[in-house]
Structure 1
Amino acid sequence: MPFAVYLLGLAVFAQGTSEFMLSGLIPGIARDLQVSIPAAGLLTSAFAVGMVAGAPLMAVLSLRWPRRHALLAFLLTFLLVHVVGAVTTSYEVLVATRVVAALANAGFLAVALATAIALAPPNAKARATSVLLGGVTIACVAGVPGGALLGEVWGWRSAFWAVAAALVPAVLAVLRSVPGDSGTPARGGSPGPARATVRGELRSLRQVRLLVLLLLGALVNGATFCAFTYLVPLLTGDTGIEAGWMPVLLALFGLGSFAGVTISGRVADARPMRLLVGGGVALAAGWIVFAATAGAVIPAIVLVFVQGTLSFAVGSTLISQVLYTAAGAPTLGGASATAAFNVGAAVGPWLGGMAIGAGLGFRSPLWLSALLVTVALALGAAARAGRSRANQVEERQKHGAQ
């Protein structure tokens, strides 16, 4: 795998820290800005909404730019809005910074996915995807617990300053190491972006299989964020673990997520269906068990790791399948995956917050996560059965014509 792909993963790490760190900062933000826990949780949804809107818009705009220039513009914008977020005293302004940061993050991720695929060998899309998403999971392991720790010691604003500082080396790394056109493929790799057009890429997106994969990704990621956003209140409330242990438990979730994308990177290029079906069933069962046993410390600790692993193994595999299916649309394919997954990331916390606000308790997001994954499994099975019937009809028509 070209070294530039790993440097793109470094930039994704810095941005992933910002996306995930709110899970450990929600109580402090709620107290400081005098809003409710569900309102603070909606900052995650605001980020996700910006990702949904920004992914296709920024991807279309970036098709006209050299990829290195686009990556740098998105990173610098992301850095500046974190400075604003660190100094504001307004909840509304903080929400706005999350939306703008998400627009920049969406554009960066769409271009980074296309760049990584262009630089990687053609049969290694899952590996390239796992490197980029590995940046997100390392953010869960190191960045998110670090942000939670900073929030405990110096307040939530210090975590925003830390993200801005972490983006400086990412900017320098992209400037120095990503090729100027980012389109020179590895030996036998995908063609560069010079021939890409909006119309041509849009034509490649008109596939039923692609729409199904995007819907499944939204459901699975919705389940992940529905549970993860309210993990700290659950563990400190229902489970009874002291708040000081939260950075450790968030790191444990991050270790699980890193294990998940690593598994996907090694398996999903050759055997994606086994990972999607087996991992999906285990993921749904895990959320049910977590909800039922959240009052016990040991099962809760184990399931934090297990569910992190399963969530990211299944999610990363779905993203790589989107990229394989949309091979003719590397930038808009990545943007579509980003948008779909962030539809889930927006709806998931909203559903979880609604359930908590209705008095159903902090376990209710876990039950909702189990439901979302179960719906994804049912839709996937129905789509597969529909394809099988369509193939059988086509075969019979061919034989009848002969």
Structure 2
Amino acid sequence: MSPTLLPAKQMWSAIGSMALCVAMLIASEFMPVSLLTPIAADLNATDGMAGQAISISGLFAVLTSLLIAPIAGRYDRRHVLLAMTVLMLVSLVLIASAANFSLLMVARALLGMAVGGFWALSTATVIQLVPKAMVARALGMIYMGNAVATAFAAPIGAYLGAIVGWRAIFWGLVPLVLLNLVWQLRAMPSMPPKAGIPVSRVFALLKRRHVAFGMTAVMLTFSGMFATFTYLRPFLETRTGVSASQLSLLLLGLGLAGFLGTKLASKLLEKEKLFPMLRWLPLVIAALTLSLVWLGGRLESAAALMIAWGLVFSAIPVCWSAWLAHAMGDDAESGGGLMVAAIQLSIMLGGAVGGLLVDQITIVASFLFGSAMLVLASMVIGPGFRLGRHPAQPETID
């Protein structure tokens, strides 16, 4: 169906259902960050092992994001997106009822498939649903779902998890996903299959020098951030000595700062500051991470640093989305799959290496590793010439 022929009410309802699905996916994927300690204790695992639950979802998100375009090209896009939502639903039921760590990992793998598949198709789906002039607004609604989940999922999970237990938190997400599935069934129009995109076309983008450098920087940046983000709860519990209520407030502060970070990043992008932001934000978050190691023993210092950390953390994905439009605007669907794969692989590696360091050395070692990756990312980016910015051109994303 042509976007211009879709009734406005149904069009925005479909976008709304996608935004809610994104919120549920993000909440489900990163909820273990706020529940890491009780999950580990209940399943007789270490904190580092529990952190691998985030890593395994990243692995399957990588595989799915790379393979979904060729598969989705054979089927109605509506059915593919609904299948991703069903996968999320099944994974939540399995997580909530997991009797052992192995079943938890299987459930997280299914969730990773849903995350990778949905995100890889989201931009192309929006373009198919709405007129070109409204694409930016529609994408903004979807990213708002991301921001809402980032702001509220972790603190609510930490607070309620201490009252009703971590399993009840995941059971609580099940009816919300069911409602989302019903909404999608009613709102999503049929989107007939088109010619599939071969996997070779996705990887062919890496032959472009600026894309190869960009993806390297993406992986260094996100692996560095998630080597820290994944283990914030055990750090705050052991180093800062926070209670459950204090932990939820700190995570809420981090999440709410994300709204401001997203807005500030958008404003700076409008002023054509893309490449300076890509270069300097990783250094800022590395400095904040090291400051947290040094000053995080005091609650007041930890709170201030967490807010600042959340501010920068939320701005970085916005900048890389803008770079995607700048660097691969001629093949956004393939580029989107490649970007999702790179980010999810980075989440997996950051969480996995961080988990090993937490178990074998200390949490501080994981934070130091993350900071080193962020510094390397900034070095790879440099002034931006390697990422496609011509020395003689202004810093524009167009």
Fold match by TM threshold 0.5? yes
* Paired residues for 1:30-41 under 5 Å: 30-41=40-51
Task: Show the counterpart of 1:332.
Answer: 334
Task: Show the counterpart of 1:42.
Answer: 52
1:244 alignment partner AA: S
Q: Distance in 2 between matches of 1:170 and 1:374?
A: 40
CA deviation string 1:334-365 (max 9, x = no partner): 22111111111111122222222233x32333
Task: Show the counterpart of 2:236.
Answer: 235
Task: Show the counterpart of 1:198.
Answer: 198
Q: Distance in 2 between matches of 1:390 and 1:18?
A: 42
Q: Distance in 1 between matches of 2:259 and 2:346?
A: 20
Equivalent of 2:320, from 315, 318, 326? 318
Say if 2:378 is the partner of 1:380: no
Q: Distance in 2 between matches of 1:17 and 1:319?
A: 20
Q: Distance in 1 between matches of 2:225 and 2:391?
A: 33
Q: Distance in 1 between matches of 2:372 and 2:133?
A: 34
Task: Show the counterpart of 2:97.
Answer: 87
Of 122-131 and 70-79, deviating more is 122-131
- Counterpart contact for 1:127–1:266, Cα < 8 Å: no
2:360 alignment partner AA: A
Task: Show the counterpart of 2:260.
Answer: 259
Of 36-45 and 331-340, deviating more is 331-340
Q: Which runs of 5+ in 2 are unaligned?
A: 1-7, 394-398
Q: How many residues align?
A: 381
- Counterpart contact for 2:71–2:196, Cα < 8 Å: no
CA deviation string 1:309-354 (max 9, x = no partner): 1122112211332244223433332221111111111111222222
Q: Distance in 2 between matches of 1:124 and 1:300?
A: 41
- Counterpart contact for 1:75–1:105, Cα < 8 Å: no
- Counterpart contact for 2:61–2:116, Cα < 8 Å: yes
Q: Distance in 2 between matches of 1:269 and 1:196?
A: 34
Identity across the alignment (%): 24
- Counterpart contact for 1:130–1:264, Cα < 8 Å: no
CA deviation string 1:267-305 (max 9, x = no partner): 436522233234333222222222221112212111111
Instruction: Give SS of 2:329's match.
Output: coil
Distance of aligned partners of 1:358 and 1:196 in 2 relative to their CA distance in 1, 3 Å threshold: closer
Q: Distance in 2 between matches of 1:302 and 1:77?
A: 38
Distance of aligned partners of 1:372 and 1:200 in 2 relative to their CA distance in 1, 3 Å threshold: closer
Instruction: Give SS of 1:326's match.
Output: helix
- Counterpart contact for 2:225–2:370, Cα < 8 Å: yes
Say if 2:186 is the partner of 1:176: yes
* Paired residues for 1:57-96 under 5 Å: 57-96=67-106
CA deviation string 1:87-132 (max 9, x = no partner): 1202101101101111122101111122224456768877655543
* Paired residues for 1:345-364 under 5 Å: 345-359=347-361, 361-364=362-365
Q: Distance in 2 between matches of 1:168 and 1:73?
A: 13
Distance of aligned partners of 1:103 and 1:286 in 2 relative to their CA distance in 1, 3 Å threshold: same
Q: Which runs of 5+ in 1 are unaligned?
A: 183-192, 393-402
Say if 2:19 is the partner of 1:18: no
TM-score scaled by length of structure 2: 0.86
TM-score scaled by length of structure 1: 0.85
Task: Show the counterpart of 1:218.
Answer: 219
Of 54-63 and 338-347, deviating more is 54-63
What's the CA shift for 1:13? 0.3
CA deviation string 1:226-250 (max 9, x = no partner): 1111111111111122233222222
Instruction: Give SS of 1:317's match.
Output: helix
Say if 2:286 is the partner of 1:284: yes
- Counterpart contact for 1:12–1:135, Cα < 8 Å: yes
